[in-house]
Amino acid sequence: MAKDSVVDALRALATGNKSRSETARLRDIVDEVEAALAAGVSRVAILETLNAQGFTMTLKSFESALYRIRKKRAQPEPEPEPEPEPEPENIINALHVKEKKTETAEENKTVFRCLPIPDGISPVKKIPNVPDHVYLPGELEHPAIKGLMLSLDQRFTSIHLEYINESNGEVLIESDKQKRFRFRWKTPIPMTISSTDSSFTEMDMSIFKKH
């Protein structure tokens, strides 16, 4: 059986009169029926015309079918439910909490300022494995001292840096360890406390004293 013939047969069923209910057929021409009614044609006259064209409706079944078609047409299609909007109070509270956290972080942030390098101090030579961007002009944060911004000269000076805590005016000096991290431009790895650290007991060194 050819596909085209099957398609044609199904289309004939969908549009034919024999295989479809009279209500379905009436739905196809309901606009013309409504136009005739609006023009003042009686339902009896319309029904007689329909039955002359192959319908077999009674007046009661015609009115019932017309009522169902009108009712279905009058039903609006359901609209998708809108997503609930957040309550204004919740938005304000969330913004307030975010602003509070930002203010607290700014208050707790320690800002350092590097003191000028004395004249006559030679910079260190270029160190292997240091990223190229570290040798470019501009300020970069000290890899081992958070909040301390360094210029190009300060990054590679051979002396220990002196810097001031802007919050309290305290003058600090870069440690040997911090200096080594600066030369290699590497961030120190923070120490982690092992779950077994508390199990160790400090050794009594007095047992090793000579008598």
For residue 88, the surrounding DSSP H or E stretch is: helix 88-108
- Which of 142, 167, 149, 158 has its CA nearest to residue 113? 149
Residue predicted with more confidence, 145 or 19: 145
Residue 66: CB atoms within 10 A of its CB come to 21
CA distance 66 to 6: 33
CA distances from 196 to 22, 70, 189 (A): 86, 81, 20
Q: What is the pLDDT of residue 191?
A: 63
The amino acid at residue 36 is A
Q: Is 0.75 topped by the overall pTM?
A: no
pLDDT, tens digit, for every residue of 15-48? Answer: 556 668 889 999 999 999 999 999 999 999 999 9
Q: At 141, phi and psi to the nearest 5? A: -75, 135
At 132, the pLDDT band (50, 70, 90 cuts) reads: confident
